[in-house]
Structure 1
Amino acid sequence: MRIISLNANGIRAAHRKGFFDWLKKQKADFVCIQETKAQHWQLADREFFPVGYHSYYHDAEKKGYSGVAIYSKHQPVRVVYGLGWEEFDREGRWLQVDFENLSVVSLYLPSGTSKEERQQFKYRCMERLHPHLEELAGHDRDYVICGDWNIAHKEIDLKNWKANQKNSGFLPEERAWLDEVFGPVGMVDAFRKVDPSPDRFTWWSQRGRAREKNVGWRIDYQVVTAGLAERASAAEIYTDENFSDHAPLIIDYED
């Protein structure tokens, strides 16, 4: 089973940069997209509904903002749009497809970089997500929550960690929350299960040739329940082409 996650920074922009042509060659079972930045009615091109996939979009109410999507090779038994939190759901941040023994989620956790108000919203989302993640970890089914979590967990997960300790995305409170998620809560960072190496980033600033110099952050994850983590067999961050300021995160799981 192959799962791909990408913050597209605009699904229409990613399309223009060749994302869907690349995707056709990947043989992915599930593709989770964040930051679609489009309303469903704006996606008239057939490419936005890839052949061979069941395609689902959860748009933000605000045009050109946020939004998540999932392309699934398999017909789900249920599709869940949001988590029942109005301020979270109206920004299109959680989309879930359920199967008999597996649930796949596309999550876009808020960023707090723009202003303090957004950082406080991010903290509220983290607080609300914590017990929900505990509940998922306790289920006897597999869960994979793909997406842009907007937090680099450890020093190895960003290049300039010393200079960013007071910046959103690497704040002590955010990192401690991920310690909980990957500790007592019982979820697993599937990428680190497979690849412990440094300088493995999924996002780069568009300033100062950061991508060329690989001065980046690893803020995109596939967070999985323990049983699925044991089946993670290979991981790749695809950087040969540039579809977004993020790179596709590809993880293979043994069936």
Structure 2
Amino acid sequence: MPPKRKAAAAKPKATAKEDTAAIEQTKEEDTGENGASSTTEPPPKLAKKVSDGLKSMDFSSTSKTEDERAWNFKIASWNVNGVRAWMNKDGLSYLSQEKPDILCIQETKCSQNKLPKELNVDGYKAYWSSAQKEGYAGTGLYTKTEPISVKYGIGIEKHDTEGRVITAEYEKFYLVTAYIPNSGQGLVRLGYRTKEWDQDFMAYMKDLDKKKPVILCGDLNVAHLDIDLTNPKQNKRNAGFTPEERAEFGKLLESGFIDTFRTLYPDKEGVYTFWSNFRQAREKNIGWRLDYFVMSERFKKNLCDSVVRPAVMGSDHCPLVLYLAL
């Protein structure tokens, strides 16, 4: 297992403009039922292709468990911010370079009958869950090993119309990929998020955990700790960093789960998975850690490493990777 690292050196204080960029998450897709959410996916922006720079990246790992077992299983997760836009940016090149056993993607923004045929990949079985509203939410899963079973949603109708959860059962664990609802601008959906969704989703996770260990990955739309975003003081009442959202995530962890990244790197600063599209936030690394690998605490013995890939472009989020010894 990699050693716990010391906290990074203090960064220069952000300017007022940089603070503004950090405060505004601007996750346009998820303004909530009462918000002005677009129902169609915008055309791809002239951003860097996913393939740009991948060939020069080192995807190798020598990570091991605490008892010195080398990793032999890799799961990747990525909020792609629109699967068709992602495809236009050569998104599948990441899959061919990372070569995970499983790739989970969130915010697909595409109904199943409109999924590009090019999304089919040799060697992987794909599963998709779409929202009833076109151009909204949605999740997907690529897997080399066919699961024992696959479930869409969490079994509660009011939560299961947006394609936010896929659960795949494997021999040794359940894998849950989730795109947790955003509380929206003005926190219009905070009550639904924390008093309804978070409560029911935790119960769902705990029920699975009674049967076998659970691995949860995806865009959980919460920065749990102050070091999980650039400017915590300015964001106390912004979606993703309210006390209510953070408390509910804390309750999930306290119920028998761990945040794999913070378990391995409790003091590491400047590690983010989402950056606003405004004011060069990504170039300046003014961001939020909103994407996670969470697992059953008793499965920690299989944990080798939890890695973030900020250099991989193609979305306003970056991929993250879990290394396991099974």
Fold-level match, TM-score > 0.5?
yes
Unpaired runs of at least 5, structure 1: none
- Does 1:40 find its partner at 2:112? yes
1:212 matches 2:283? yes
Which deviations, in whole Å up to 9, do the C-alpha atoms of 1:24-64 show, x marking residues without a partner? 12120111111000011212323x12211110000000001
Bigger CA radius of gyration: 2
The answer on whether the counterparts of 1:111 and 1:150 sit within 8 Å (CA) in structure 2 is yes
Query: Relative contact order: is structure 1 or structure 2 higher (C-alpha 8 Å, sep ≥ 6)?
Result: 2
Contact 2:108 2:138 in 1 (8 A): yes
Between the aligned partners of 2:187 and 2:241, the Cα distance in structure 1 is 15
Q: Tell me if the contact between 1:194 and 1:232 (Cα under 8 Å) persists in the aligned partners.
A: no
Taking structure 2 as the reference length, the TM-score comes to 0.74
Single out whichever of 173-182 and 67-76 deviates more from structure 2: 173-182
Matched residue, 2:192: 121
RMSD, aligned CA: 1.4
Asked if 1:254 corresponds to 2:254, the answer is no
Change (3 A) 1:2 1:207: same
1:215-239 Cα distance to aligned partner (Å, 9 max, x none): 1000101111123223221222112
Cα deviation code 1:176-228 (max 9, x no counterpart): 11221112x11111122223311110001111111111110001011111232
Deviations 1:104-158 (A, max 9, x none): 111011001234442222121012122222333343x221111111010000100
Q: What number of residue pairs does the alignment pair up?
A: 252
The answer to whether the aligner puts 1:133 opposite 2:205 as a matched pair is yes
Distance 2:221 2:187 in 1: 15
Identical counterparts, % of pairs? 35
**In the aligned structure 2, how far is the partner of 1:44 from the partner of 1:2?**
26
Task: Tell me the SS of whatever aligns to 1:210.
Answer: coil
Q: What does residue range 104-253 of structure 1 map to in structure 2 within 5 Å?
A: 104-123=175-194, 124-139=196-211, 141-183=212-254, 185-196=255-266, 197-253=268-324
1:11 aligned residue (83, 86, 94):
83
Q: 2:97 matched to 1:25?
A: yes
More strand by share: 1
Could you tell me whether the CA contact under 8 Å between 1:37 and 1:64 is conserved in 2?
Answer: yes
Task: Give the aligned residue type for 2:280.
Answer: R
Write the letter of the residue equivalent to 1:15: M
- When the two structures are superposed, what TM-score results if normalisation uses the length of structure 1? 0.94
**Which amino acid letter does the alignment assign opposite residue 110 of structure 2?**
A
Does the CA-based 8 Å contact 2:131-2:161 persist in structure 1?
yes
Name stretches of at least 5 consecutive residues in structure 2 with no aligned partner.
1-72
